[in-house]
Amino acid sequence: ELEELGTEVLPRRTPAPAWLPAAKGEEGDFCLRSSDCAAGLCCARHFWSKICKPVLREGQVCTRHRRKGTHGLEIFQRCQCAEGLACRLQREHGPADASRLHTCQRY
């Protein structure tokens, strides 16, 4: 039926929502995934939406997830540590369990 009309069927693309900018998002802009954000940013939950947030640098507090899948339960997500850094228990001078804080540290 379509061949008779000479119409080529192209896959339909869902248009981006009007609130999503065409250019890469800057810090604080709404996003759906990290690829929507500019370099050095990731897309992370902030309340019930997602915004572009900075990737964490050395010494910044990070979130270490004990169980797989718990990252989605956070209301305020943090980005991952930058390349070359890992989220590790902060080294403290004192009792072993004095701090449960994790920070981005070099491998």
Q: Where are the domains of the chain?
A: 29-92+99-106
- How many angstroms separate the CA atoms of 50 and 71, rounded? 13
Q: Which CATH architecture has domain 29-92+99-106?
A: Ribbon (2.10)
The band of 107, judged by pLDDT with boundaries at 50, 70 and 90, is confident
Please state the pTM of the whole predicted model. 0.68
Measured CA angle at 81 (ends 53, 57), to 5 deg = 80
The band of 95, judged by pLDDT with boundaries at 50, 70 and 90, is low
Q: 89-103: string of b/e by CB count within 10 Å (b at 16+)? A: eeeeeeeeeeeeebb
The band of 1, judged by pLDDT with boundaries at 50, 70 and 90, is very low
Does 45 score more than 50 pLDDT? yes
- How many angstroms separate the CA atoms of 31 and 53, rounded? 10
More confident position, 33 or 90: 33
